[in-house]
Amino acid sequence: MIYPFHSPLGPLSYAWNGKLCRHIWLEQLKTAESAQDDPVAQWLNAYFDGNISPLPPLDKPATPFQAKMRAELLAIPAGTVRTYGDLAVKLGTSPRAMGQALGANPLPILIPCHRVVAANGLGGFSCGLAWKKKLLQLENAL
């Protein structure tokens, strides 16, 4: 099921099947479902209140590379950033390929791809640079 979540930074939606979070969209999708008090909503509430809490159960990464990338992203503390190049070196790929892989992250915020920036600026963000800026500002990383 897809549920709405009203964050202080704007509306978002997430897919929760009762066991796993499968996707997060940084936009309000049309859905007949109402807001929930499930592990995803609880985590998002804690995050937007500035609290770190254990992640809700997440859908598994699709590939071994995505699993490695997820582990590296989760190792970036809130309030800090890494560059595409830094992450690419750790994962044995190019910065451009790293950016493409990050753009395919189905779980933004939960898997903090917004904490990866270009060497000379913000870089890109599949959900839009406005969201990336707001998330980094929320975490005091800008």
Residue 59 lies in a domain: no
Q: Which residues contact 69 (CB under 8 A, 6 or more apart)?
A: 61, 87, 91, 98, 101, 102
In the chain the first and final C-alpha atoms are separated, in Å, by 34
Residues 70 and 44 in one domain: no
pLDDT computed for residue 43 by the predictor: 97
Residues 78 and 130 in one domain: yes
Residue 19 lies in a domain: yes
- Indicate which residues carry an active-site annotation: 113
Residues 68 and 116 in one domain: yes
Contact present, 52 and 78 (Cβ < 8 Å): yes
What is the domain count for the chain?
Answer: 2
> If pLDDT is split at 50, 70 and 90, which confidence band does 32 have?
low
pTM of this structure: 0.92
Helix (H) or strand (E) holding 42: helix 39-48
pLDDT computed for residue 142 by the predictor: 78
Residues 109 and 72 in one domain: yes
Residues 87 and 43 in one domain: no
Contact present, 109 and 40 (Cβ < 8 Å): no
> In angstroms, rounded to a whole number, what is the distance separating the alpha carbons of residues 30 and 60?
25
> If pLDDT is split at 50, 70 and 90, which confidence band does 140 have?
very high
On average, the pLDDT of the chain sits at 93
Q: What is the mean pLDDT of residues 104-123?
A: 95
